[in-house]
Amino acid sequence: MNELLIGAITGILFGFIMQKAQVIRYDKQMAALRLQDMTIVKFMLTTILVAMVGMYLLFDLGLIKFSLKPLILGGNVLGGLIFGIGWGILGYCPATAMGALGEGRYDSAFGLMGMILGAGLYAEAYPLMKETVLTWGDFGKITIPLALGINHWIVIVILGALFIVLFRWFEKKGL
C-alpha cells in the first residue's frame, strides 16, 4: 500500500515537471525528431546526467542496487526501430502520452488505446520472439564501464562532458 502511494506521488511529480518543461507535447517531440527544437533532448540528457551522478554515488556507498536491462541486439535494435516508427507517427511516447492526456491533448487517448492493443499483440507474439529475435546477440546485463573494464567515474566524466558540449551547441544553434 505504501509502495503504491509513493508510486502515485512520484508519478504526479514527474508528470508535473514534464508538463512545465513542455516535453509532453506532440509539437515538441516531433520538433526534436525534425531537428528543429531540442527541448526534449535537453530535458532527457539533464535528467540522465543528474541521475547518473547521484545513482553511481549511492551505488559506490552500497546504498542502492542497479536494475539493468540485458543487451539483446535483436530485441533492442529491432524493437527500438519499430518503436521509433510508431513514435514518429504518434508523437508521444508511453509516459508522455499519459501526461498529454492530463494536459487535455486528447488525441493521445487514441494513442494510448493503440498502445494497449500493441501490448496485447506483443503478448501473442512473445513465444515466437523468445525463440527468434530475443536470442540474437544476447550480451546480458552490461554497462559501458563493465564492457570497457574501466572505472565508472571515467565514463561518467566523459559522458557528462559530451552532454554539456551538446547543450552548448544546441544553445548556439538556437535549437
Partner 1 sequence: MDILRKKTWSPYTAGVLAGILLVLSVFIMGKYFGASTTFVRVAGFVEQSVAPEKVASMAYFIKEKVIIDWQFVFVFGVLFGALASAWLSKEKMAVAVPPMWEARFGQSRVRRWMAAFLGGTVLMFGARLADGCPSGHGLSGLAQIAISGYVSLICFFLAGMILARILYGGGNDHE
- What string marks each residue from 14 to 33 as x (binds partner 1 by CB under 8 A) or -? xxxxxxxxxxxxxx--xx-x
Distance CA 50, CA 86 (A): 29
Nearest to partner 1 of 60, 107 (CB atom): 107
Using CB under 8 A, pick the residue from 85, 149, 172, 173 that binds partner 1.
85
161 binds partner 1 (CB under 8 A): no
126 binds partner 1 (CB under 8 A): yes
Nearest to partner 1 of 139, 169 (CB atom): 139
Using CB under 8 A, pick the residue from 127, 149, 172, 173 that binds partner 1.
127
- Cα atoms in the 13 Å half-sphere on the side-chain side of 94: 5
Nearest to partner 1 of 65, 169 (CB atom): 65
- Cβ distance 156 to 56 under 8 Å? yes
60 binds partner 1 (CB under 8 A): no
Distance CA 47, CA 51 (A): 6
172 binds partner 1 (CB under 8 A): no
The minimum distance between CB 165 and partner 1, in angstroms, equals 14
Of the candidates 46, 52, 37, the one whose C-alpha atom is nearest the C-alpha of residue 18 is 46
- Cβ distance 70 to 138 under 8 Å? yes
Category of 35 on φ-ψ map: left (φ > 0), alpha (ψ -120 to 50) or beta? left
Distance CA 24, CA 90 (A): 12
13 binds partner 1 (CB under 8 A): yes
Using CB under 8 A, pick the residue from 80, 157, 165, 169 that binds partner 1.
80
Nearest to partner 1 of 64, 165 (CB atom): 64
